[in-house]
Amino acid sequence: MAVILITGCSTGIGYSAALEFAGHGDTVYATMRNTGKAGDLASTPNVHVLELEVTDQASVDACIAEILDRSGRVDVLVNNAGIDNLASFEDAYEEEVRSIIETNFFGAWRVTRAVLPTMREQRSGAIVMVTSLAALAPTPGEAAYAASKCGLEGAAEVLSHEVARFGIRVCVVEPGFTRTPIGDKVDPRTASPADSPYRAFMDYLHRQQGKDLDGGDDPRMVAEAIREAVVGPERFRHPVGEMAKMVYETKRTVSEQEMTALVRDELGLGWWIDGDDAPPAD
């Protein structure tokens, strides 16, 4: 059975992915910043919980070294760890923007670089970047998050060509809205001052995002798609869920102007673009 390394496993997609691979008999290294949040993963057969802070190179090196010491190989890396915030481009704090990109983009880059020598030596491996619908159709309030995920997809596509000769496959899994705690700490008030010209807009988007996440896909569905991306027919892009698949197909068939209009209509942005002071009542 394969040796699987997954980042960001304390909740949501990472947690579900750990259970998905472990349920098929693979040896799973479920990593997270705080192993005290491992919950029942700590007692799940085939799962080993390890500490990993993707923004810290020393933590990455120590984690990979421990996995290699225990198992001698890494067959699959799932870069799932990520954070988000909701803020207008103009109001977003640079510190917060850097934090999101450091975790979502550089964190995945850092862990990937750490496992590549082993995978090259094995002449085999699979690397999955968990990106987002935001990489297919970036939406207002998500500039930093979209930048991190779009950048990660670009880097992954480049990597897929570079490592093909070593038998390593690279792909992106693009979930739509998923019921995970990633939105729990998203609060427009942390980045939209009371006198901000975007304050009403960010408050509206915050409410809409909460509804989208509450009604989102089950993270277990994303976990199944991640495993299928590894064991199924090889392809680069894997949109997950009705919304992500619809956006992916639509972008291939409509003009740029039509896509912009569809996004604005789907998000109900007419009031904002038309200059109204407040959105229609829910």
Catalytic residues: 145
Instruction: Enumerate residues 6+ apart whose C-beta is below 8 A from 121.
Output: none
Please list the alpha-helical segments (H only) found in the chain.
12-23, 57-71, 94-101, 107-122, 133-136, 143-162, 199-214, 219-231, 242-251, 256-267, 270-273
Q: Which residues pair with 49 in a beta bridge?
A: 30
* DSSP structural state of residue 178: B
**CB neighbourhood size of 9 (10 A):** 31
Distance CA 262, CA 210 (A): 21
Distance CA 244, CA 20 (A): 21
Distance CA 64, CA 70 (A): 10
Q: Which residue has the tokens 């392809």?
A: 235
Residue 139 token pair: 């939406």
What is the enclosing helix (H) or strand (E) of 30?
Answer: strand 27-32
C-alpha dihedral sign at 208, 239, 242, 219: negative
